[in-house]
Structure formats: C-alpha cells, structure tokens
Amino acid sequence: WGVQCANIGKSLGYGPYDYTRRTEFQHELEMVERSHFGRGSENLTKGMQQADPGPDLHYTLSAFPNHHRALNSAINLRLKKATSFYSAVDYPPAECYLERAVYFNPNDGTSFMLFGILLQRLGQYELALKKYRRAEQLEPNNPNVKYNLGLLLVDMEQPDDAMVYAKELYGNGFPLQGLKRKLMNSGHWD
C-alpha cells in the first residue's frame, strides 16, 4: 500500500489518541465525533462538513487511529470500491487505516479483528486467519472475534474447527445466527 498510506495522520495537529482509552480521552473523542463522525459519516451517506464522508472519516481515523466504528466505516467504504464519494486517489484504502491502527496499538484485538474482516471479505483467507488469531490471542473471551473466526473457518472449509466456536458461542446465547446458518448450509450443524 506504500505511497497511499504514507500521509495518514500527518499534519493533523490533533491526536493521535487511543480509542481503547476513550474514557481518558473522552473530551477529545466527543469533539472529533461531534464535528466529524456523525451518523451520516458512519453510514457513508454524507459528511459532516460536506457531502463527501471521506474527509470526516479520514479526520476521525487520523485523530483516533483505532476508532473501531470509523475503521468499520472505512472497511465498508473500501468494499464499495468506486462510488460518487470514493476514489482511491483521494483517500487511502482501509488497509492503510487498519495497518496504522494495529501499529498504533498492537494490543487492540478489535482492530486486528476488523482487519481480518476486511481481508476475509476480499478473499484473502490466510492473511485474515493471521489477523483473527492475533485478535484471539489479545482478546480470548471476545465473542465477536470467535464469531468472525468461525465464519472464516467455514469459508476455509474447516467446519469442524468452526463448529468448536459455534458450540461455545451459541451455548452462551450469542445472538447472531450467521455462523450457524453457514454450518447448516454446508451440512455440518449437529
């Protein structure tokens, strides 16, 4: 990603702050979200300052590199590919923001999980598996990590391994049924 990633967060003059320590940086987070990360920016329908949500998303991730919801929006923007709001020339791809997030806080399992989600959706299963495994090491009790890892394992045709996660998750009342459906559709749900 090289050149596209080079300028993320430079000359912003605000931050960077750690989203996992948001209570410590509550004032800064409120300022950034109030001005740059509203519902329209998060849902990629419109920016806070202009029609394009890209600049607000970029500002948010420059100030809070591991802002989980903003990273998710960057992933969604990346997966939309070309739209009226997005050009790879104008904004770095989500991979850049995710690389910066995991570099900024290498102990933030959620950022690794989000990186895995993007890589999985791009069909890069082996790389996604590495990100999910790192997230699992950092947050071994996070059901969202286990769920997404289970989904990947089904995609990688490892249903027995996915079933281990599914049984634990659904045994503990996990609400999302996508993993169960994938296992059922592949004939592996008991």
Rounded to two decimals, the pTM is: 0.89
Q: For the chain, first and last CA: distance in Å?
A: 43
Q: Are 94 and 81 in contact (CB under 8 A)?
A: no
Tokens in use for 8? 């993320």
Q: Closest Cα partner for 98 from 85, 111, 79?
A: 111
- As a whole number of angstroms, the distance between CA 170 and CA 28 comes to 38
pLDDT digits (tens, 9 = 90+) for 155-186: 999 999 999 999 999 999 999 999 999 999 98
Percent of the chain with pLDDT over 70: 88
CA distances from 47 to 31, 51, 54, 60 (A): 15, 5, 7, 12
pLDDT digits (tens, 9 = 90+) for 52-101: 888 899 899 999 999 999 999 999 988 886 443 444 446 788 999 999 99
